Chains A and B, each alone.
Chain A
Amino acid sequence: MSEEVIKTEGLTKVFNKHLTAVDHVNFSVKQGEIFGFLGPNGAGKTTTINMLITILKPTEGKASVLGFDIAKQDNNVRNVIGVVPQEYTADEDLTGLENILLCADLYGIPRDVAKKRAADLLKLVELTDFKDKKVETYSGGMRRRLELACGLINRPKLLFLDEPTLGLDVQTRTATWDYIRKLKKEFGMTLFMTTHYLEEADALCDRVAIIDHGKIVVVGTPEELKHSLGGDIITLSIKEDPDVSELIRTVENVKDVKNEDGSYRIKAEYGEITAPFVIEALRRKGYTVTKLMLTEPTLNEVYLEYTGKSMRDTEESREAFRSQRMTMMRARGG
């Protein structure tokens, strides 16, 4: 039995012959881990997931899921995985229970088994009291939980979660994290998730792949990634205009300096010791430091390091636009 639950080789998806959404991606996911795909909107996360769950055909490259080839044995793949999509896919006109039973039917699970599993799953996601209410009356958090229950109906060994907490409030998000941890711990499930929340990747994932413009830029545990930056981050601003990057670079222990619109991001070992030297060096040349911040690296720094942009700066992609539009459409309709 292979340890690798997912393995991709040069997995590529090109839309309309010129838009490369996923560009020769190689990675593997090990049995029993939570593997996170971290990247901005439009980086290719959902496209990758859609190829792995066999609803999108790869343009090039190969991938296997639980030992099945996604192109040649797609129906075997579908049978053994669970999918919790980004959108709310439940049928609004049906009740929660009816939706779960419909999913069970699609997997060919006999009615008596399905009923028992549905009851267990409703309990797990705390929807038992609402099971006979139409889904259109559910809140965002309840819909997410229902999606989770549907994704688990066939007892998958591997669960795909696409942006599991997108658009949820903080409380619901934390609750969702608890469910995810529970799945891993109690059922030994392997989870593949995408997210654009750094704190989510940090809190949940055993390993993270940062993906940008369809390419994986780095893979590792959150700790490894943070460590790979090799030091702390000093952010400072000066009163004067000229670029002082070169000057700062001469200070001992400073490894790298980036000028981001007048704010300098300095990577340095022993940040708390180096910072005073930096201030001193600047003052000797007649510059005044107006602001200084010292941070130990977080996944945000890692992200910034590898993608060259802050998560908050990433422009709104079509994907985000679409999900927003969907929400608006629902709001109008419901």
Chain B
Amino acid sequence: MPQERAHVRLLIIAGVAFLWMGAVFGRLTYLQLFLHGDYLARALRQQQRTIEITPERGAIYDRNKRPLAMSIPVDSAFGVPSEIADEHLAARLLSGVVDVPQDVLEARFESSRSFVWISRKLPPEKAEAITALNLKGIYLQKENKRFYPKRDLAAHVLGFVDMDEKGLGGIEYELDTEIRGKSEKIVVMEDARRRWFDGSQAKLNNGADVVLTLDEKIQYLTERELNAAIARTRAIAGTAIVMNPNTGEILALANWPTFNPNKASEAPADARMDRAVGALYEPGSTFKLITLAAAFNEGITRPDEVFDCENGSVLVAGHRIHDHKPFGLLNVAQILAESSDVGAIKIALRLQAPRFYDYIRAFGFGLLTGVDLPGESRGLLRPVDDWGSFSIGSISMGQEIGVTPIQLVTAVSAIANGGLLYRPHVVAELERGDRVLPAEGLLTPTEARRVIRPETAATLRRLMEGVVLEGTGTRAHLDGWTSAGKTGSAQKIDTATGRYSRTQYIASFTGFAPINNPAVAILVSLDSPVGQHEGGEVAAPVFKRIAEEVLTYLDVPRDVPLNPKLIQAAYQKQTKEEGSALEDLSSVDFSGQPDAAPAASQTTKLDGQGRTDSKRPALTVAVDQGGEVEVPDFSGKTMREAADISLRLGLDPVLVGSNLAMDQSPAAGAKVRRGAKITVRFGTPLEKKSKPRPGNRN
């Protein structure tokens, strides 16, 4: 009996256990089999995320692959309002970090429960500050931000982007589709802590990198000289373009005013305008080049043909035109050199309007050049049928026609290279990784178009050289290279009266160097300089400085010997011809007593941009060619002693500083040729001890 009871109890327990297990397994079966789909979908909804991968915007480089624009990932702060415990507190804390008003943040939290931006593309310190707040529901995610590390260098060429990295100007706008790449969506699985643990592989479609034809160094030199000219002349705007006349590559394109693309939204619209391609102006006397090019090419005149410039005044179609000087008889070369309007008009009248119009169009005026920058203007050129009775005269001297700087320098490049008009361009190629992309669309290479015969171009080059050697452009004369060009001083239209202004001019100079096998064509244009307004006075010196620096940088071999007067002029009173080349040289006063240090006020520190009006001594340096000379030791010598010793040995001393000689180059004992340059630095012994070495200063 007891056994039977035990057996029954066991059976009851077993039965209960089986029932329990049956219930569990039944539930499991129900969940795993019948509700499998529902729970799988719920899990995927929780874990699966579709993420859009923003491609990295392509970088922009100069021709030597130096970066001018790059994108790097930075943190952007966003919030999930449904997860924020105290929105008011969160808004208050965040407003102190991100400079967004608290009420604005609160409004954003109210506007959506799932996602709101707090602040985008934050600097690292602000992102760290937000992380330090450790607020629930506030997260950081990476976004690409565009940086321009060289600040305002080539700003108008590069352009700028908006907050979403959409190009709004320059190359950023023109090649936006190619540069921005294609975004891709990937599916990722994330856990409760938002850590990804599985994701499909993203196929990266980053944007293409752009390699420009600009040279960073040439661009900087050009901008620096333009800025200095603007400061000197107090012009309201300016443009400078450096182009390779043999290919149409633009090596530098500078505008003033300019802006910093990193802060483009803060710059006025006027500063963001690319005047080089979009601003129209009447070219003035520089357009005489086109007049003469057409005349020579048609064979209707010769450089030595003489024209009567009627004492500087002529009446044509009821209009009286005056030259800036009362010229009498001038040959064509002189007409160009002296920039006689009367002479140019007479040549144009012989050419006649239809042929002249054809040549103007052939040189690209009134048409788009096709430069790969946005906002280009085709200029203003009325059809020949709409020309008035005096239009041919006006246009021949560069009035009644509107041109852009890029059109003019392209036309002058055609003269420089022998008559071929190239399409100006700033984009060299597009790259993706190591692969150069095929040139298509805007980058499709175009054939150069012949506009004048090579002989005509050669003739014009010779005449343009005359402008620099003897005419209005002597301040564009380069030291060590031949150069050619044309000055322009065009009156602006006074918008109040609708007539030509007597006070506001566009001063310009356009030219190229060297004459044979030109390496660069340069245009400099200054809008409304104060005081002097002639192109030969204000623009030609800028051309000279840019050309000399650029030709030196490019190692273009000199084609003329260095001007020996230049060496003498370092110690003589500054003359008109050598003026601007010596602006960096310190003035040295040799008129003091022997062994007496020159007064501090009479010497100036070397300054690349400063001008000195100090009295220059009269001392002629005799340079003797040939022979070998051992460089003496100048230590402790005065300036007069150092100069005397150098001259006796036939060396060319460059004396820097004041007081006693402290340092020299080459060193004492070196063997150099006669006429070699010896640099001697002067100072006091205390100066030498306290003078910081490069790199020690902060």
**Do A and B assemble together?**
no
Query: Chain B: residues with CB nearer than 8 A to chain A?
Result: none
Query: Chain A: residues with CB nearer than 8 A to chain B?
Result: none
